Chain A
């Protein structure tokens, strides 16, 4: 879909006579105006994407980076946290999005109302959402402990132990981003031709069979792209973690970006900060190139 180069068009130059030839020359002679119009974009890319990346790659090639980081238990813990956070949050979220999009597909009044309020978590910036959930989980004054106590489950220090804190991060992530991905998968579902479902109904297929043999195979491609894209995005998450736990308790809940921030600004070691991303770069770039291949 992303073809800027259209040989079919330029091949038609002669057949379409003088008009086309005068308006649109061969792709090669259009390079100069094309480049001039893309120049701001190219400059931004070189200055603020390529140059910082170059920095990171040189850091990634330095053995010292690995020696320092792999000897820091907090770094190792952070890698585990990031894998758990990204792995669980993204996959649970997308699976729920797949189910929910099925629930919302039929266009009744109730589902239209729900789609409307469902936009709210998506529209509200990350920051207020995180803060609300953080106060909710406050062990002394949060509403969660009030509910938990009323249900006879006692009170808990939700954000004071590593795994419940990471659980809070995952829950917030799902709350915030489920709507967006549901809308995306819903759009894909609406793209499935109606006739397929009608034919299946005539053949006596039940709800599960319809999903198994029609919806699922036709949604698999987009589902995979969504998973990869969301995983790459979430790999770089900063705001959620920084404001929910700030790495606490005891630097046990950091993810890549918050640890890099800590190294750079708390410890004054900018090399280590760059190093955190540098060590994650190979996997991330691999994901990105698979994605670009799939999308293009």
Chain B
């Protein structure tokens, strides 16, 4: 009996070790390339022999033509992501108030609409979106990217807030209404303060949704100074002798903020649409 239990523990341990190795290997490789000096880049090894932080220095001081506009790209990414965050918060806070608190007759239509937007792959709308933005003369402006990202990030944000809105007792609104408060003042004075913690989580989600976006950014932004970080990184590949150690240093810098965010908010991230479906079925 104990022998059998020991066997199960060993098998579990081996399986967990394999999963851990599989998960960490590409990350280990990314980091080890990021600290590889130029002279060793074209000699594959398991462990970096002469680790160096020079690549990070090159990126931060913009000392290579490939990262000539690093700080500009970073600023562009921050600008777009920040704007998307604000826009998504406004749209989703209002929408969740309508669905979760006002509970109006056409709510079903609105919630179906957001579900559709959440499910349809964003890329399916990308080429027509590009054409429409061209017609409105918005190509190569941040507006185009902000509109697109807000549209696609809003449904999930709405869902999380709506889930939360449903848990607030209706009596709170009712007693405010007796005191003569209209929907607008209930929204600002009662609803927003109550949902603030969730707003912070949802806002950060929207921020990184835009931060991570590649397809729409590459479609809509062109100028060397206009592009966001991921587009700048993708552009490395157009050259045959791309400095991969620099690219990986840039990758590490680009990945750190979302990784921190995911660890802080992991509890919130599995809420919403899919887990709602989990509970619903």
Contact = CB atoms under 8 A, between A and B. Distances in A.
The answer to whether A and B interact is yes
Interface of A: 1-6, 9, 19-20, 22-24, 27-28, 30-31, 33-42, 44-45, 47-49, 51-53, 55-56, 100, 103, 110-111, 114, 116-129, 131-133, 135-136, 140-143, 145-146, 175, 179, 183-184, 187-188, 191, 221-222, 225-226, 229, 232-233, 235-239, 242-243, 246, 256-257, 260-261, 264, 270, 273-274, 277, 280-281, 284, 288, 291-292, 294-296
Interface string B149-177: 01100100010000000000010011111
6 contacts: A4-B108, A49-B151, A55-B131, A141-B43, A187-B278, A295-B273
B258 A123 contact: yes
Interface stretch (B53-61, B62-70, B96-104): B96-104
Contact of B254 (A35, A128, A233): A128
Contacts of B147: 44, 47-48
Contacts of A40: 90-91, 94-95
A24 B262 contact: no
Interface in B32-57: 33, 41-46
B221 to A, nearest CB: 13
A30 B97 CA distance: 12
A5 B247 CA distance: 51
Contacts of A128: 30, 233, 248, 251-252, 254-255
A116 B24 CA distance: 11
Report, nearest first, the 7 A-B pairs whose CB atoms are least far apart.
A4-B107, A236-B121, A34-B104, A128-B251, A123-B262, A23-B174, A52-B128
A72 to B, nearest CB: 17
Query: What's the interface size class on B, roughly?
Result: 35 or more
B111 interface: yes
B94 A37 contact: yes
B1 interface: no
B103 A5 contact: yes
Contacts of A42: 110, 113
Contacts of B104: 4, 27, 30-31, 33-35
A6 B44 contact: no
Contacts of A129: 26, 30
B108 A5 contact: yes
Nearest to A184: B274
Contact of B127 (A5, A119, A270): A270
A34 B230 contact: no
